[in-house]
A and B are shown apart, each in its own frame.
Chain A
């Protein structure tokens, strides 16, 4: 059942989330939350209204994913904006930044508007389209960044690839200054990773597979930090995966540069030895790395070097992943398992979790007027209610996504979304998508 009404105009019944614990930038506090007309209207104890059970659960601003591949337009057999939105809602997300490597790519206002409209039609999350840095993501000429910014695009990236040409990247940073935009980079020096299938390491030596050396990521992280230093541009690093990358960003922040970074749940939890099985579900760009890298990434989250957890949700139809390892497309699902993985592997408190899954990404995406906000009267009702201690097993057939390529199939995760509220409407109630 699809709703065509815009999601922020919701019913006028007053709904109360009862018995939960609010976690936002101000900390943790026990309180009921009343929602009406798409907005939080009251926060306190013993509130009255149409009750929804939140006892034992955490009530937080809805999660924001800085990095989701919704595949529409162009690869609808893998995912559509609607099914991706539903997967996001099930994962507790109320906003998704849609990556621009669609077909046609998101380098024109027409495509941006299309993606936004499809998101509105689905009405399940805020679909925030990102724009390409270069035309067609070809890395040769700048996309119409100002025009796209005027159409409301705040984040630009060529994700799927990095911008290889140093001069072009410098120009993009200079051009973007004054437009209040963030340039996000997929750091990969392509000449060093040709044909690569997994991290360049002991395993790839034994398996006889071409490797993706860590330095291919670190060189571009270093480059863009230095270019940001001289241009003053705001730069965000997508899916960092190596220890050295974390060190570089830490130093850049110490120098006061406006640099932010994200990490994926899979890079925090799975290492390169997974590929010993040759299972293509573990093939991803950048690749799964070593335990040492994982430890450094977790430390980077803990000490604030890494600002956000972003899923890099990358659906692929079964058929595409059944190709030989070197031909299979890289990428794994992430929206519905992010919370379960984050709580499972991270040794951080709930406030920090909400910071990396909601507050920071909302700010980086430029949507912190409606997402990632403190839960107080007047805030838009974009919320997630989750059970931090419930364990559940990942069943691929039960996922809302159209694809099934999750590396966590059959695994037990800790932390589960109970309700997701978008513009005051329950997109997910008791774990079930409502539309």
Chain B
């Protein structure tokens, strides 16, 4: 597959390959000069239609460490709606010469639509509520690193929060189940998607009931708009039922870890100062972001997935 658009599309083999490649990139990032010429002469363009400093910088750093050239288009939605269409933007950039697009957009499906308009590789940095494959790669890698194992058979991942609107949840559910983990979703019914019966998950509406049996506690952010939309009556009630506070922290097994994709809503889902959390992998999640994204770009433009992306080179 010449794109990285979703975890299901990547598949178990692709997942394993990228996680393995990440090890190489971690080593590169430990060097005094953390840079390799692998993608020299290639151009990676970030098309971020949603604000995201952290992810965008993570991708750009990754590209630069592989010696690729980078371009950034931080497009606020309104400017694309006026006049130049998304297709025009993509085609113009393709004409200028691009090897890979890294795209984040609030509408699901954009990476697939963009693939129709360009020959470049497309990396999904988040499409609406749908998928955020590199986040799932970061999270899987971080857990592997923490537990020293390649597979997660016998481990329980508990994801808490606004699953319905979470691309991180969808990608992680796919990735962690490919690696054998048992998955539990915790949310009020209004924050669960309409029909999860066919997902490989168990569902609970009570965090207190399941928290003492989990190996990984994954907290999702709750956006304040959800209150206005009637998904939860108010944020206080949400925090009481689903937030991580001192009492719940004490209920976690001693070797359980806590994760969060960031950014955090302090006082909503996170009622403890994150730096006071023992067994927090949140910093590792951030730290591993660059290595994972290096692996992704390398794989698409130079590695096993690159067969479709190699530029014409005269002999």
Chain A residues packing against B (C-beta within 8 Å): 200-202, 204-209, 211, 213, 277-278, 280, 319, 322-327
Contact = CB atoms under 8 A, between A and B. Distances in A.
A325 B107 contact: yes
A319 B87 CA distance: 9
A3 B167 CA distance: 57
Interface stretch (B15-23, B58-66, B194-202, B239-247): B194-202
Given A322-B87, A324-B86, A327-B107, A208 B129 contact: yes
A201 B170 CA distance: 16
Contact of A278 (B108, B193, B194, B196): B108
Given A202-B198, A278-B108, A326 B193 contact: no
B194 A326 contact: no
B79 to A, nearest CB: 15
A280 B112 CA distance: 11
Interface of A is mostly: loop
B195 A324 contact: no
Given A209-B108, A324-B110, 7 more contacts: A201-B194, A204-B193, A205-B194, A208-B165, A278-B109, A278-B113, A324-B109
A84 B87 CA distance: 27
B107 A326 contact: yes
A30 to B, nearest CB: 49
B128 A322 contact: no
B2 interface: no
Contacts, number: 63
Contacts of A213: 194
B146 to A, nearest CB: 28
B130 interface: yes
22 contacts: A201-B195, A204-B194, A205-B193, A205-B194, A205-B196, A207-B108, A207-B109, A208-B108, A208-B128, A208-B130, A208-B167, A209-B128, A277-B112, A278-B109, A278-B110, A280-B113, A319-B85, A322-B85, A322-B113, A325-B108, A325-B109, A325-B113
Interface string B186-224: 000000011110110000000000000000000000000
A209 B194 contact: no
A326 B128 contact: yes
B293 interface: no
B260 interface: no
Contact of B129 (A209, A280, A327): A209
B105 to A, nearest CB: 7
Contacts of A211: 194
A206 B108 contact: no
A327 B110 CA distance: 11
Interface in B74-124: 85-87, 105, 107-110, 112-113
B108 to A, nearest CB: 5
Contacts of B109: 207, 209, 278, 324-325
Contacts of A323: 85-86
B145 to A, nearest CB: 28
A200 B85 contact: no
The winner among B86, B107, B109, B166 for most chain A CB atoms within 10 A is B109
Given A205-B193, A206-B170, A208-B167, A324 B105 contact: yes
The winner among A213, A319, A324, A326 for most chain B CB atoms within 10 A is A324
A202 B113 contact: no
Contacts of B170: 206, 208
B128 A278 contact: no
Contacts of A327: 107
Nearest to A275: B109
A209 B130 contact: yes
Instruction: List the 9 closest pairs (A to B, CB-CB), nearest first.
Output: A278-B109, A208-B129, A324-B107, A205-B193, A208-B130, A278-B112, A325-B109, A322-B87, A326-B107
A57 B166 CA distance: 55
Contacts of B128: 208-209, 326
Contacts of B196: 205
B168 to A, nearest CB: 11
A207 B85 CA distance: 23
A278 B86 CA distance: 15
A207 B165 CA distance: 10
A207 B129 CA distance: 8
A202 B107 CA distance: 19
A322 B116 CA distance: 10
Given A209-B130, A322-B85, A324-B113, A200 B108 contact: no
A207 B107 contact: no
Contacts of A205: 193-196, 199
A200 B193 CA distance: 10
A326 B86 contact: no
B78 to A, nearest CB: 12
Interface string B255-282: 0000000000000000000000000000
B107 A200 contact: no
A209 B108 CA distance: 7
Contacts of B108: 207-209, 278, 324-326
